[in-house]
Chains A and B, each alone.
Chain A
């Protein structure tokens, strides 16, 4: 789904460098907040997986196509409460059409080494929204998913 669904009111905003420590820190912070709000281990696995995929896509696919003067950073916005873990990930690239991605589970694509990130986000999160032009994704994990 695309459109104006990717804004998160009241979110905390973090600018990530392409650095493992930076990435781990923000994911761990979000998961600590989720745990404090009663989200359990299975939720943590799902949220970490989806965030890893979104952040990797942002750096590897998004920023790779960004204008040369753009910073190699990724913006993460998050808000956690008892009902949901709500995270947006935005890069500086031109975006892409998530609805045009080939199905990675079809026979002809099964042995291809790439193309599973968005599918995993959709499988593990309650809702996934992309903005138009497709350089920002919002991942929502609702309690009881």
Chain B
């Protein structure tokens, strides 16, 4: 059976797994489900995972995508890991502010800043 095409670009640096999205829009349920499953598999691979999610290529996301990020955050905390978000477009960052999720997530301007922030 052919493997489903990955929705993510994954790299590792200084013990941190960095994830970028292949899609500019993270909106529909099926896409979000596929992304969540891929990221969950990355989290489950490590003890105390350090995960950085970069939104460098993302133009739009939906509340379902925010929900998926919250679930990912819970999963990482359950494994005593750390999550950082970075490179969020100003319009999308405003969505985080309106929903107050900027208080829940540790958000940085750049991936370098985010990587430096891990304990």
- Chain A residues close to B by CB (< 8 Å): 20, 23, 42, 45, 48-49, 52-53, 56, 60, 104-105, 110-114, 116-117, 119-120, 123
Contacts and interface: CB of A to CB of B under 8 A. Distances in A.
Q: Is the interface of A mostly helix, strand, loop or mixed?
A: helix
A51 B7 CA distance: 23
Contacts of A45: 60, 91
A111 B62 contact: no
Contacts of B98: 119-120, 123
Contacts of B95: 49, 120
Size class of B's contact patch? 20 to 34
Nearest to A41: B91
Interface of B: 27-30, 60, 62-64, 66-68, 70-71, 73-74, 91, 95, 98-101, 103-104
Nearest to B71: A113
14 contacts: A20-B30, A42-B91, A45-B91, A48-B60, A49-B62, A52-B62, A53-B62, A56-B27, A60-B29, A110-B100, A111-B73, A113-B67, A113-B71, A119-B98
